[in-house]
Amino acid sequence: MEFKDRVTARMRELNLSATDISKLTGVSKATVSFWVSGTNGAKGKNLLSLARALGCSPDWLSEGTGSPDVSSSESRLDSGASAADMVKQMLAKQGKSLPEAARQRLLAAAEANDGGGVIDLDYYRPGVVGDEVWIAHYDVRAAMGGGQIPHDYPEMFQDVRVSPQHLREMGVEFKEHFHLKMVTGWGQSMAPTIKHRDPLLVDVSVREFAGDGIYMFSWEGHLYIKRLQWIGDDQIKMISDNERHQPQTIRADETYIHARVLLVWNAHLV
């Protein structure tokens, strides 16, 4: 397991979102997104704060050594404090806005560490049991129109927990679930296939043209979600599903593909 895997596994065990971790550690949600995506690790005070928020040992969180149990004296807020005491102090200072269910799960994890027990809270976990995974949802507005200038530091604003088995049963094809991310479509040029602000499931491992389909890509400094079709001679046709927007021919060597769109995560009122 890598650092990001230990972080996400602990978050999943405690049912904590990126927003919860941001509130508990006092760092930005962008920083939390770097931790869970593996872009950056946590060090120093941030590592200790993250370990406290997750009720685990900083050594295990950082290096994977030992067990997740809180045992390092460096992780204690006060000398001689138990894991449960440590978490109570943290919650009193930074966890007032957390839902009560999340507070109870954190306390249960800390008390289990103190006594060598296990967490036995019974709470609802959606998806197929043992199969669900978290997919990071990034506030990246990929335009379906004139183009959006991409953010330098996309901020994760909501996790989505799904079952990879269920996705495959729906016909979604992918190799590894950790390549799946959620982004937001922006504009009307891909309607009715994709509507304004529809969340999209994308595969970030697809970085080259892999057959006709809908892609998230950069062209001339802007970020797009469009249908791409190969027409030969190193040229690609950029197609909008909305007939009001005319197709455009672009050069493949001037187009940087970020991901392939696999699924539109939209809701229809009934």
- CA distance to 40, 56, 151, 201, per residue, from 46 (Å): 12, 14, 24, 30
Please give the Cα distance from 20 to 97 (Å, whole number): 9
Find the mean pLDDT for residues 108-120.
47
Report the pLDDT value the prediction gives residue 118, as an integer from 0 to 100.
39
Q: In order of start, what are the domains of the chain with their CATH numbers? A: 3-115 (1.10.260.40), 133-264 (2.10.109.10)
- Decide if pLDDT at 105 tops 80: no
Q: Indicate if the pLDDT at residue 180 is higher than 60.
A: yes
CA atoms within 13 A on the CB side of 137: 16
pLDDT, tens digit (0-9, with 9 covering 90-100), for 21-34: 888 888 887 788 88
Output the six-digit token pair for 172: 């979604």
d(CA 82, CA 86): 6
Residue that wins the pLDDT comparison between 238 and 145: 238
Most confident by average pLDDT, 46-55, 80-89, 121-130, 234-243: 234-243
Task: Note the pLDDT tens digit of each residue in 129-165.
Answer: 456 777 877 656 555 655 554 444 344 445 677 888 8
> Which is higher by pLDDT, 193 or 91?
193
Mean predicted lDDT score pLDDT of the chain: 75
